[in-house]
Structure 1
Amino acid sequence: MGSYDMTVPAGRRPAGRAAGLASLALTLLMALSGCVGPSWSEADYQEKVANTAEAARSAVQTARLVVEAAEEDKAPGPYTARALSDAETAVTSVATHIGSVQPPTMQSTELRSRVTSLLTDCRTTLADLRIAARDGRFHELARLAEPLPRLAARLKRLQELRPT
């Protein structure tokens, strides 16, 4: 990849699987972020945490695909930087929402601590990726993305808290 330049030639749009998935992830995030509000029961709070984890996992998985595409020279530098920035913004948004929900029980308070800590880890990793991409350090993305599979797995476990 070359140096970072936010301009995209007229008529040229990033294409491919990563672009479609990034769009889908952000749409899902917007739909799910509206699901957070006051929580009156343990089950309701677990549902909110599961929705939060699902939205954050979508953003993390999108970042993984973008990094993979960048490694294979299938994603232009400006698209890579923008998609990673969007993933970070998405996780920040859901973290803000779930952080504003009052946990109804002590068990929920412990769960809140778990999810907010995990979201902080996700945000830190995504910020590191965004910064490297914007600085044109595309050769560092794979190394910086190493925590993403583990973070995605942890988010998936929180998704499974959804009451049945």
Structure 2
Amino acid sequence: MRRLLLIVPLLLAGCASPAWNDADYGKKAGATAEAAASSVALVRLAVEHEARLTRPYLQTLLTETATALGSVDSQFGAVQPPSEQAVEVRAEITELTSEAAEQVQVLLDEVRLREIAEPEKAAADLAALADRLRAFAERHPS
């Protein structure tokens, strides 16, 4: 029992990945932006080719992407910023990933209820967001 009590705090401590300095934190933020940009780009492709996809497939893709974006966001959110500058980096990447998750959720809601209302606009918005995420990742290479 005593061993279990010693292991549990270690496992819980492992949930928050440390960032030793601003450079390390920036790398983690850049990797988060790259992952989110990939997810957004995948959704953009699906929206552009919506007519060729079945509704259940599109729903599944959007659901899994929303889950992936939430996971990426929560994993990075567990990283403690080492400085005030890192807090600003966190605010910027969190804003971008939250926007990505929100856009995907809106599309998922539209697909569940009927179809994507404005697929061309949605694809353009997703492309712009993916570009912003990639630009962030370039400023914070992992």
TM-score scaled by length of structure 2: 0.82
How many Å separate the matches in 2 of 1:162 and 1:46?
7
Aligned to 1:153: 131
Contact 1:77-1:133 within 8 A present in 2 as well: yes
Return the offset for 1:148: 0.8
How many Å separate the matches in 1 of 2:126 and 2:102?
11
Give the length in aligned residue pairs: 126
The root-mean-square deviation of aligned C-alpha atoms, in Å, is 1.5
Counterpart selection for 2:105 from 104, 108, 127: 127
Counterpart selection for 1:45 from 20, 25, 30: 25
Structure 2 residue identity aligned to 1:59:
S
Q: Which stretches of structure 1, 4 residues or more, deviate above 6 A after TM superposition?
A: none
Instruction: Report which of the two has the higher share of helix.
Output: 2
Structure 2 unmatched runs, 5+: 1-15
Counterpart selection for 2:88 from 110, 113, 125: 110
Structure 1 unmatched runs, 5+: 1-35
How many Å separate the matches in 2 of 1:75 and 1:68?
10
How many Å separate the matches in 2 of 1:159 and 1:148?
16
Return the offset for 1:128: 0.3
Contact 1:128-1:144 within 8 A present in 2 as well: no
Give the structure, 1 or 2, with the largest relative contact order (CA under 8 Å, sep 6 or more). Answer: 2
Structure 1 residue identity aligned to 2:66:
E
Structure number with larger C-alpha Rg: 2
TM-score scaled by length of structure 1: 0.72
